[in-house]
Structure 1
Amino acid sequence: MPAPPTFRSIAFTLTGFLCLIPLSLQSNAGGLGVTPPDQIRVTDGFAVELVYEVPGKGGSDADGQGSWVSLTVDPQGRLIACDQYGALYRIDVSGDAADVEKLDIEFAGAQGLLCAFGSLYANVNSRDFPSGVWRLTDTDGDDQYDKKEHILPLNGGSEHGPHAMVLTPDGKRIVTCAGNNTNLPDDFAISRVPEVWDEDHLLGRMPDARGHNANRMAPGGFVIAFDPDGGNRELIATGFRNHYDIAFNTDGELFTYDADMEWDVGTPWYRPTRVNHVISGAEFGWRNGTGKWPAYYPDSFGAAVDIGPGSPTGIAFGYDSGFPQQYRNALYIADWSYGNIHAVFLRPDGATYSGEFVTFATGAPLPVTDIAFHPGDGAMYFTIGGRRAQSGLYRIRYVGDEDDSAAPKSDDTAKDLRQLRHRIEKLHTGQPTDVALNLAVRNLGHDDRAIRFASRIALEHHDVAQWIDAALKSKNDRAVIQAAVAIARVGTPDHRGQVLAALGDIDVDALDDQSVIDLTRAYALTFLRLNAGDQVATPSDAQRQQIVDQLNDRFPSGKDNLDRELARLLVFVNADGIVPRVIAQLNDAPSQESQIHYAMILRHRIGDAPAKVQRDYFSWFNRMRDARGGMSFGGFVKNIQDAAAEGLTDDDRQTLASVLNPPVKSDAVAEEARPLVKQWSVDDLAEHVASPGRAFDFQRGKEMFVAAQCYKCHRMGLEGGILGPDLTGAGGRFSVTDLLSSIIEPGKVISDQYGATQFLTDDGRVVVGRVINLNGNKLSVMTNMLDPSSLTSIDRDTIEETAPARNSMMPSGLVDTLNEDEIADLVAYLRAGGRSDHALYAKVSGADASAD
């Protein structure tokens, strides 16, 4: 991973919000036109220029050229772009000015383009033109496409429809992706994904509180491959939400950038936008509403890199660029809503990849739709537009010093593990020999997650009778767990007893935390799938006792992911005393996400609980009134409460009347939860926070992380919000003074990734916030990080001036209700990365306390 880049007017610090060296306000000429290049900030050593301003305000003008959403490079080095709702355009960028022509073929609505096999392939996503993959060919040599063939019909019209295409590394086939509103073709020659997908929720699920995609079920979005004529179709992976683009790296491995559901922010089922390594047969766990699978499930492959809130569009590796070595090897991903291009630095991590990312270019608004690298001039080209927003074509070149960095060294261990994974993945197609099938059985318990995953998928493709005995008799408990997951997915109810007996023999004390999570999932799938009908199988008394004996004493463990899954399974089997223990976690968990999880899994059990437990449970909903999240957040919480209340008797309702229907407290007379102590300065606190003369108190530091509302925007370990930067590693990068400064003076130095913009409108309004959505000329701006569902709409035609905001979106005064000792413990908690076993807590303050 290279060192994070610096920006021309940006420095990185803890708070992660924007504070730039003041720039002069830039006029938008009445709000019209593309974002000027001098308002786009790029990494040092790079320069951005506007190549072409697309006429027509994104398609609202009859003489316009629409809103461009996809790019490709043709064999002659020209770019081809498509309007989201209209025609195709070819752009010659070899001269001083771009030469743009509309292609002379009736065509509309492409959201993916690829020049290959002597043709232009266009993937249409439209309500007005037949959707799916078309092959356009020039049959008479006049440099115009005159023949079109609909080689892969797909349903379209939703923005979660058919999208980008790329060539396979061997140049023989095409791979494409489609979002979760696209139906799978029904004529696959090969499905690397076992065709047994289901919802798989042990305690049920709830649809989106606003009704979005309530009827869309598994398998979700997908990746498929096909021959140049559209035939020999192969399903590669499923379980995506809405990945817009895909790209292969030099190892021949496929990646995509999948979308989040921004309405879910603040809930436990929210998953950030993320880069996924798309391996053979992979499932990534998208389900609608509350049903999205956690990344840690053994039957979901998870993410290579979590990015955060955003709206993924085009992606591309920089191999064809003239960039320095470290940037030439990066994966560039476009975030349409927040106006970012991120550079993702992937590194081998066993048989898969992990990595980090930095913001490479950003602007407001900068609705980036696609990225293409030109092998001729080595520049990055990108388009902005979409949803009829003003469109433009830009170019980024490297203009810095000559690159003298060495190519990254090959990781032979990772290469060997990838090769092993590939050998196992051959079992995802065709009939294996016994020797080959044994390879999968032997690797079910491999230390590498990707190899375990590939091995399980391999077994699921073949008759259970061929491998069940060998897999369940493995001496490796992790292998037995994976085998149980596989049998649950492809077996029959007759296998349930055999699977449960094998799981009961596992030595839980010898398992690591992830393997215990896998065990809870194996049990869940066994009862969900290995049953005679559609209903979840009811455990027998002996089966219930088996699970209680293995797992009951482990809850709570103090480890968030593990506790969530232990609670889910123990509630399912109705372990003795489980409801009051989960209520305790509901009240004590430091993040609202964890609290909501516990409320959700108890919703159908609370009716049988004692009156005091019921009161504790329903009182929690009243405390959640001040919590904030995405657009569906409040509706989700209300729906959970309503579902729980359905289980109450009339007598229960009467007893709980004051809790179920509390008086509405007016904001105007609401008292502060904590009184003002002082408007603190860094100088007031620096000495005491570094050396308070006592041992630091971990629990109080954790509580102050909540009291100061840090958790609403920032993550510490596995808990907290996602709108601000992750603070888990902040203590390793910043001194005590730096941490204090970032808390007390949040606008002093701020990262560009979380930057705000100031908009001045023609009626004198000043709006400060982050652009998170566009539609035509309308900008949706988030103005309050603590209430992300509160948006301000601005008409671009009314904007007079824009500039980077000088003040942070992080509120000031958050620690003014804390005393000196509480602030000292909060900063210690940050320095320790939220770890109670950190050496900081073994020290008594003094000279040593400030040494970390």
Structure 2
Amino acid sequence: MHVKTKLFILFAAVMSAAACNNNQTAERKLTGNPKIDKLKLPDNFNVDHLYSPGDNKEGSWVAMTFDPKGRMIVSDQFGFLYRLQLPAIGDTTTKIQIEKLKIGADTSSKVTMGYAQGLLYAFNSLYVMVNHNKDDKFDKGSGLYRLQDKDGDDNFETITLLRELEGEGEHGPHSIVFAPDKQSLYVIAGNFTRQPETSTFRIRTMDSTDNLLPMIKDPNGHDQISHARGGWIAHIDSTGSSWDIVASGFRNPFDMAFNDAGELFTYDSDMEWDFGMPWYRPTRICHVTSGAEFGWRHGTGKWNPSFPDNLPAILNIGQGSPTNVVYGGTAHFPDKYKKAVFAFDWSFGIIYAVHLEPKGASYSAKAEEFLSGAPLPLTDGVIGPDGAMYFLTGGRRLESDLYRIYYKDNTENAAPLAAVEPTELQQQRRKLEAFHGGPKAGAVEAAWPFLKHEDRFLRFAARIAIENQPVAEWQAKALQEKDPETAILLGVALARQGKADVKNALITHLTSLNYDKLSESQQSDLLRAIELTITRLGEPDAAQRTALIAYLDPHYPAKTNNLNRGLSKLLVHLDAPKSVEKTMALLESAKDDPEEQKTATASQDLIMRNPQYGMDIANMLAKMPPIQQTYYATVLSQAKDGWTPALQEQYFKWYYTAFGFKGGHSFLGFIDAARRNALALVPKDQFEKFNIMSGDSLARSGGADVAKVQPKGPGRRWKVNDATLVIDSGLHNRNFEQGKAMFTATLCSSCHTVKGEGGVAGPDLTQLGTRFSNRDILEAIIEPSKTISDQYAATVFTLKDGSTITGRLVNQDDNKYYVSQNPFSPKDLREVEKKNVSATNNSTVSVMLPGLINRLSPEELRDLMAYIKSGGNEKDSMFVSDGKLGKK
């Protein structure tokens, strides 16, 4: 067997394939260019690889726009702006012309404008959303800038700061888009960006978390600079003098797009570290209406999507890292794709075509995998003036590329879509939205009837319209309202906008409703209204507390997980006498909803697209945590009274078991934080007993991922020749502990074992150093797709609906394929109906991304190689100096 084939067998994971590669049809031929051949596209679509900025030391590009002359302007995430003149589709002789933009008093050594995560050419100006705090390399701080060429010399000599923004980085200020009226702009920012002070806003927000679940912030510190209201969207004029906050409560959406009906959509992120927790939410497509709130808050404070004071996603997609959003309306694509919103996922290298269908005052949506590849870290994309889609890859200093997608020869489907009229309910929603943004005559009367409408988006718009009016105009009427649906939503509004002196009257009014005659969704909304009354207006007095317990306790436990979450949270917070006993009974027997299980298991299709995120998913699915039980355990961590010795033992033993489950990076940290909160409430003389019983030894032994050592760098884009020179220069007096830590930090341990430690998804590497040269080992790490053994290639199943499924083909019969997708649970097989499959192919790309060692400094790389070559033997001569063990 060829040495490189042997080497790959040692390095490849059992299912070494990226999920979307080599999915070729008869219409699309392999080109021999791996940057193109790794991409999967629908039939009759073509893709050109246009440029690689890294080849010319031009950085990693993350933002793009076109100017009126058809030239593309792009930004390096950590550097300059560039302008490109691109060859036409089919032109194979003209080379790309590229120039660094001259801006102001430009010098070749200093960035005068760049570091942008949003670019837009509009109003004869280039708008630049800078995402970077001032330093010695760049004297412009984060904010929105307007660049103008007033003397017509094709250079931007005028730089105007329209609005300074507080926030930077991957959760800082992001994109800018043209408004449908062509007279204004919209800007979007992530949750590390403080909402700008403005007198105009369509939703009256506070920094209140509005959640009685015990607050636990991300145990790894990620949320520490997040702002309570989360990411936001603002509507501004061309001069940046007027800012109107349109929506908030996002985590970190990068971009947004309007469809032909003038409706706004964005693609918001999850926090992948929260994977497996009850408050985790998949990446999702949001229909952003006026005054919208989407409920992102720190840690455990995230709102349930069912809460009436936030809006749900119109589509949950799954794990990923959302970046670009663009509407296909001007593309020379078939109508199906012209009408689609395209959503980009950086982590797993997928462009989703999100197909929208009007549904009431909003939309329903389905996602089709339009383009995919691995690795393919998608950043930005636009529809060009020629009707083709242009997109970038890069970010985080990764290798960056510019591509173009077009249908056939790009001459078909050039006609624009016909104008789309909003549905009747969408038009009604817009009429209600006209009352947003401040007091307006007739708003209360116009909105009131729609508070009980069956359409959730209409109810939301009506409530926001009322909340924007002086409370004195509607408070008394709200407290007299007899219709249950209307009364509940007015209770939400009054809790959010009223004064503390209305608290008792509001509690009395809400508890006068006949709970048994309410629908399940109305009961859920009522629980939320009571919760908001407490979080916004203050704790109830003794009499009101007694009244609330008497009202709620007979209905607990309920028949559904969702209602039990609301009831348990309220009753434990209120210290109801039986709340601990009832909640512990639920903790013992709770089963997760099928929808939550479906959301998790659907993620298995992503395992092989990205080893960093995919292995986390695989780990979790192999030891899936009980989500509903985790919720109850977190609720009970605030319970002071109602415990018996038996209940306390049962409760704390649950934590010991929970440390054996797998979730995202912060899962065990959240579990341990809830455990410690509960321990703080036990008598001091029993603390040690329950501390040991609940798994303190497991928490301290590194069960939680928070203690993992990360590379210090500085890293570099390692090439085989450069890395080989470093290692061949000598491996002596190496640091064993650091080498072992780098084996984990570079994700080797996720799949491979050295001396009995590590993952079991791939072959044991303990004997690797005795068989192969430094260069062979480094080539397998740096260029893992160079040689792939058929023994370890996964199969890509292309389904007739355009989607793909990837995994190791374990067995098949006349009707089905049996596919193993999770390397951590290889016996869990997915059944794929053969009648639904249009093609099967072996992948040509490894699941192990190139560049996993790029965060390592030369010294860290030496330590890693010493650890691998020694087979994990700390007494090896590479760790010995002058007869003594080397550094530990």
TM-score between the two structures when normalised by the length of structure 2:
0.70
Residues 189 and 664 (structure 1 numbering): CA distance in 2 closer, same or farther, change over 3 Å? closer
In structure 1, distance between residues paired with 2:70 and 2:523? 54
Give the 3 Å change call, closer, same or farther, for CA 419–21 of structure 1 in structure 2: closer
Which residue identity lines up with residue 64 of structure 1 in the other structure? K
SS at match of 1:320: coil
Aligned equivalent of 2:782: 798
Matched residue, 1:540: 542
Q: CA deviation at 1:257?
A: 1.0
> For 1:477-626, what aligned pairs fall within 5 Å after superposition?
477-531=484-538, 537-541=539-543, 543-591=544-592, 592-605=626-639, 608-626=642-660
CA shift, 1:817, in A, is 11
Q: What residue is the counterpart of 1:694 in the other structure?
A: none
Q: Deviations over 1:775-823 (max 9, x none)?
A: xxx98699579xx9999999998215267734446348969799xxxx9
Match of 1:440 among 433, 437, 447: 447
Report how far residue 411 of structure 1 moved.
Answer: 9.6
In 1, the alpha carbon distance for the partners of 2:363 and 2:760 equals 37
Change (3 A) 1:54 1:655: closer
Q: Does 1:88 align with 2:87?
A: no
* Aligned partner of 1:182 among 169, 182, 193: 193
Secondary structure (helix, strand or coil) at the match of 1:72 reads strand
Equivalent AA in structure 2 for residue 390 of structure 1? E
Query: What is the RMSD of the two structures over their aligned residues, measured on CA atoms?
Result: 3.7
Alignment partners' CA distance in 1, 2:688 and 2:253: 49
After alignment, is 142-151 or 322-331 more displaced? Answer: 142-151
Q: CA deviation at 1:158?
A: 2.2
Is the 1:112–1:165 contact (alpha carbons within 8 Å) kept by the matching residues of 2?
yes
Partner of 1:112: 118
**Residues 708-729 of structure 1 deviation map (CA, whole Å, 9 limit, x = unaligned):** xxxxxxxxxxxxxxxxxxxxxx
User: Distance between the aligned counterparts of 1:813 and 1:489, measured in 2?
Assistant: 47
Shift of 1:470: 2.3
Tell me the alpha carbon deviations over residues 731-790 of structure 1, each in whole angstroms, 9 at most, x when there is no partner: xxxxxxxxxxxxxxxxxxxxxxxxxxxxx9999xxxxxxxxxxxxxx98699579xx999
Whichever residue aligns with residue 482 of structure 2, its letter is: K
1:103 to 98, 101, 104: 101
Cα distance change on mapping 1:133 and 1:650 into 2, 3 Å = closer
Give the direction of change, closer, same or farther, for the CA distance of 1:22–1:65 in structure 2 (3 Å limit): closer
Residue equivalent to 2:380 = 370
Verify: 1:379 aligned to 2:378, yes or no.
no
1:461 to 456, 468, 472: 468
Letter of the aligned partner of 1:572 in structure 2? H
Instruction: Report what 1:836 is aligned to.
Output: none
Question: Does the 8 A contact of 1:343 with 1:357 survive in 2?
Answer: yes
Residue 247 of structure 2: aligned partner: 237
Closer/same/farther in 2, CA of residues 814 and 79 from structure 1, 3 Å limit: closer
- Partner of residue 397, structure 1: 406
C-alpha contact 1:579 1:609 (8 A) present in aligned 2? yes
Distance 1:144 1:549 in 2: 72
Q: Give the AA of the match of 2:542.
A: S
Select which of 66, 75, 89 maps to 2:59. Answer: 66
Q: Is the Cα–Cα contact under 8 Å of residues 274 and 667 in structure 2 kept in the other structure?
A: yes
- Cα distance, 1:204 vs structure 2: 3.2
Q: 2:428 aligns with which of 410, 417, 420?
A: 420
Is residue 146 of structure 1 aligned with residue 157 of structure 2?
yes
Matched ranges for 1:12-23 at <5 A: 18=19
Cα shift readout 1:166-216 (whole Å, capped 9, x = no counterpart): 111011111101111112222x24111214341112243111111112253
Question: 1:653 offset after TM fit, Å?
Answer: 3.5
1:361 alignment partner, SS class: strand
Q: How far off is 1:568 after superposition?
A: 1.0
Counterpart residue number, 2:168: 157
AA of the residue aligned to 1:462? Q
Distance 1:265 1:816, change over 3 A: closer
Which has the larger displacement, 294-303 or 379-388? 294-303
Q: Aligned residue pairs: how many?
A: 675
Question: Counterpart of 2:774?
Answer: none
- Give the Cα separation in 2 of the matches to 1:782 and 1:166: 43
CA distance in 1, matches of 2:778, 2:448: 59
User: Cα distance 1:539–1:452, how it changes in 2: closer, same or farther (>3 A)?
Assistant: farther
Cα distance in 1 for residues equivalent to 2:252 and 2:348: 17
8 Å Cα contact 2:439/2:468 also seen in 1: no
With over 3 angstroms needed to count, the CA separation of the structure-2 counterparts of 1:631 and 1:529, relative to structure 1, is: same
Q: Identity of paired residues, percent?
A: 37
Letter of the 1:609 partner, please give it. Answer: W
CA contact (8 A) 1:34 1:53 kept: no
Displacement of 1:401 after TM fit? 12
| Residue identity in the other structure for 2:403 | Y
Amino acid at match of 1:104: K
Rounded Cα–Cα distance in structure 2 between residues aligned with 1:302 and 1:662: 38
CA distance in 1: counterparts of 2:158 and 2:696, whole angstroms: 68
Q: Shift in Å at residue 87 of structure 1? A: 1.0
Q: Find 1:132's aligned residue among 140, 143, 151.
A: 143
Separation (CA, whole Å) in 2 of partners of 1:166 and 1:492: 38
Deviations 1:453-493 (A, max 9, x none): 11211222222110122233333211111111111111112
Equivalent residue number for residue 869 of structure 2: none
**392 and 557 in structure 1: CA distance in 2 versus 1, 3 angstrom threshold:** same
- Offset, 1:579: 1.1
Q: Distance in 1 between matches of 2:634 and 2:393?
A: 40
> In 2 relative to 1, CA 573–415 (structure 1 residues): closer, same or farther, beyond 3 Å?
same
Offset of residue 544 of structure 1: 3.5
| Farther-moved stretch of structure 1 (467-476 vs 647-656) | 647-656
Partner Cα separation in structure 1 for residue 389 and residue 827 of structure 2: 47
Following superposition, the deviation at residue 511 of structure 1 comes to 1.8
CA contact 1:124–1:130 (8 Å) conserved in 2: yes
The offset of 1:625, in angstroms, is: 2.1
| Residues 1:353 and 2:383 aligned together | no
Q: Distance in 1 between matches of 2:675 and 2:751?
A: 26
After superposition, give the CA deviation of every residue in 1:208-234 in whole Å (9 maximum; x if it has no partner): 111112253321211112111111111
Q: Distance in 1 between matches of 2:417 and 2:483?
A: 36
> Aligned partner of 2:41: which letter?
V
- Tell me, in whole angstroms, the C-alpha distance in 1 between the residues paired with 2:225 and 2:82: 37
Deviates more, 1:216-225 or 1:466-475: 466-475
**2:53 paired with 1:38:** no
Judge conservation of contact 1:167–1:175 (CA < 8 Å) in 2: yes
Deviation for aligned residue 1:37 = 0.6
* Deviation per residue, 1:290-339 (Å, 9 max, x gap): 11111111111121211111111111010111111111110001111111
User: Could you say what secondary structure the match of 1:443 adopts?
Assistant: helix
Q: In structure 1, how many angstroms separate the alpha carbons of the residues matched to 2:64 and 2:571? A: 51
| Offset, 1:443 | 1.6
Shift of 1:55: 3.2
Quick one: structure 1 residues 89 and 448, their matched pair in 2 at CA, closer, same or farther if it must change by over 3 Å? same
* Residue number among 473, 481, 485 corresponding to 1:474 in the alignment: 481
Contact 1:236–1:281 (8 Å) recurs in 2: yes
Tell me the distance in 2 between the aligned counterparts of 1:354 and 1:780: 38
Relative to structure 1, the CA distance from residue 655 to residue 389 in structure 2 (aligned partners, 3 Å threshold; closer, same or farther) is closer
1:733 is matched with which residue?
none
Q: Which residue of 1 aligns with 2:668?
A: 634
- Residue 427 of structure 1 aligns to a residue in which SS? coil
Partner SS, residue 214 of structure 1: helix
User: In structure 2, what is the equivalent of residue 171 of structure 1?
Assistant: 182
Kept after mapping to 2: 8 A contact 1:175/1:224: yes
Inter-CA distance 817–91: structure 2 relative to 1 (3 Å threshold): closer
Per-residue CA distance 1:499-519 (angstroms, 9 max, x = gap): 112212212222222211111
- CA 217–149 in structure 1, closer or farther in 2 if over 3 Å, else same: closer
**Cα contact 1:73–1:374 (8 A) shared by 2:** yes
Task: Give the Cα separation in 2 of the matches to 1:423 and 1:566.
Answer: 36
Take 1:817 and 1:94, find their aligned partners in 2: how far apart are those partners?
A: 49
Of 492-501 and 802-811, the range deviating more from structure 2: 802-811
Q: Deviations over 1:589-618 (max 9, x none)?
A: 234221111001100216640000001111
